[in-house]
């Protein structure tokens, strides 16, 4: 499995191997976001169902990163589905992938807002009363907000490469990625997954995180409100966050936290070692279920 180069965003390279066969069955859906006036906005959702479903096992909802989409999770959702014997649900946030476009850059509260918007809409559409939330990068922060805002709904949280605050390494990595995407060939790769909204996707990431007004953003206010079990996975070579990120989540979260620093891995552990990460998630959720 190819290890991404430093500051390389999560966009597949041409030499990536084909996806393996999986016993999980996937179906695609489109759900409508509740809006007041104007055109209806729709989210693209993919749901994986395991071949052997454990009765009463709650689904896992995935929240993607700043350049991500359902397609860019690649084979990881199917692997998690098979490893945990739980349904897995991933969706393109508004403006990303196959969901409706978004207009204007995100507000500086967009991480907290996702718990009230896309996540809430998906739970309503699939009648989810209880679930696990797994988020990568900024999706990890969103997952923690989901747990804090809907404690009765969220059974556990898994974060992969989550940021708890904006540090110099975060901003340096984003600046390097912004320069990388100035290359038309790199930008075209992003367009394969986001179409004509690729420019918005890139700007929503770089211009928001590099804005002076966003420099003070953190999860400080929300972490004490997270009381469910949390698994924090973080690569020791993460280009967008040092070990201070998982340390802060561990120190400030109100419930039990397990931190695993992943030797030799960067910002995309689920792409670098997808089978191993799926097994870690399954082991953690197995322990949660038995507690």
Q: What is the DSSP annotation of 68-130?
A: --TGGGTTHHHHHHHHHTS-EEEEPPTTSTTSPP--SPPPTTHHHHHHHTHHHHHHHHTT-SS
Whether residue 6 is contained in a domain is answered as: no
3 state SS of 213? helix
Q: Do 73 and 45 contact (CB within 8 A), yes or no? A: no
Q: What is the pLDDT of residue 11?
A: 41
CA distance 196 to 28: 21
Which pLDDT score, from 0 to 100, does residue 37 have?
59
- 258 beta partners: 231
Backbone angles phi, psi at 202, to 5 degrees: -65, -45
* Alpha helices, DSSP H, located in 90-135: 110-116, 118-125
Checking phi first, is residue 172 left (phi over 0); if not, alpha (psi -120 to 50) or beta?
Answer: alpha
Nearest one of 92, 69, 73, 89 to 81, comparing CA atoms: 89
Number of domains within the chain: 1
* Domain contains 19: no
- Take residue 100 and report the two structure tokens written for it: 């409706």
Instruction: List the domain range (segments joined by +) for residue 79.
Output: 25-290
Task: Look at residue 209 and tell me if it is in a domain.
Answer: yes
- How many whole angstroms separate alpha carbon 123 and alpha carbon 91? 11
Residue 13 lies in a domain: no
What is the pLDDT tens value at each position of the chain, 291 positions in all? 333 333 344 443 333 333 345 578 899 999 998 766 567 899 999 999 998 767 778 999 999 999 999 999 999 999 999 999 999 999 999 999 999 999 889 999 999 999 999 999 999 999 999 999 999 999 999 999 999 999 999 999 999 999 999 999 999 999 999 999 999 999 999 999 999 999 999 999 999 999 999 999 999 999 999 999 999 999 999 999 999 999 999 999 999 999 999 999 999 999 999 999 999 999 999 999 887
Give a yes or no: residue 186 inside a domain.
Answer: yes
Helices (H) and strands (E) in the chain, counts: 10, 8
User: pTM of the predicted model, to two decimals?
Assistant: 0.91
Contact 108, 214 (CB under 8 A): yes
Q: Is residue 131 one of the residues assigned to a domain?
A: yes
For residue 12, being part of any structural domain is answered with: no
Q: Residue 188 is part of a domain; what is its CATH number?
A: 3.40.50.1820
**What per-residue confidence (pLDDT) applies to 7?**
37
Residue 244 lies in a domain: yes
Task: Classify strands 25-33 and 60-63 as parallel, antiparallel or unpaired.
Answer: unpaired
Task: Please list the residues that pair with 235 across neighbouring strands.
Answer: 262
């Amino acid at each position: 499995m190819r290890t991404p180069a430093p500051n390389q965003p999560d966009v597949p390279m041409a030499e990536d191997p084909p996806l393996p066969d999986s016993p999980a069955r996937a179906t695609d859906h489109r759900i409508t976001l509740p809006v007041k006036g104007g055109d209806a906005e729709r989210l693209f959702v993919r749901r994986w169902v395991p071949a052997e479903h454990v009765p009463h096992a709650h689904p896992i909802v995935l929240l993607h990163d700043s350049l991500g989409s359902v397609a860019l999770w690649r084979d990881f959702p199917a692997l998690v589905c098979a490893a945990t014997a739980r349904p897995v649900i991933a969706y393109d946030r508004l403006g990303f992938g196959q969901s409706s476009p978004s207009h204007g850059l995100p507000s500086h509260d967009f991480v907290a807002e996702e718990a009230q918007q896309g996540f809430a809409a998906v739970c309503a559409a699939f009648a989810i009363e209880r679930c696990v939330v797994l988020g990568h990068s900024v999706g990890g922060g969103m997952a923690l907000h989901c747990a804090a805002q809907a404690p009765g709904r969220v059974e556990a949280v898994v974060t992969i490469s989550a940021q708890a605050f904006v540090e110099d390494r975060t901003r340096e990595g984003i600046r390097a990625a912004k320069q990388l995407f100035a290359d038309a060939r790199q930008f075209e790769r992003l367009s394969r997954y986001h179409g004509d909204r690729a420019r918005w996707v890139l700007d929503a990431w770089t211009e928001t995180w590099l804005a002076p007004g966003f420099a003070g953003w953190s999860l400080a206010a929300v972490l004490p409100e997270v009381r469910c079990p949390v698994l924090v996975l973080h690569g020791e070579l993460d280009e967008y966050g040092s070990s201070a990120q998982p340390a802060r989540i561990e120190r400030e979260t109100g419930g039990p936290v397990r931190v695993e620093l992943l030797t030799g891995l960067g910002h995309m552990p689920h792409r670098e070692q997808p089978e191993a990460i799926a097994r870690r998630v399954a082991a953690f959720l197995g322990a949660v279920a038995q507690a």
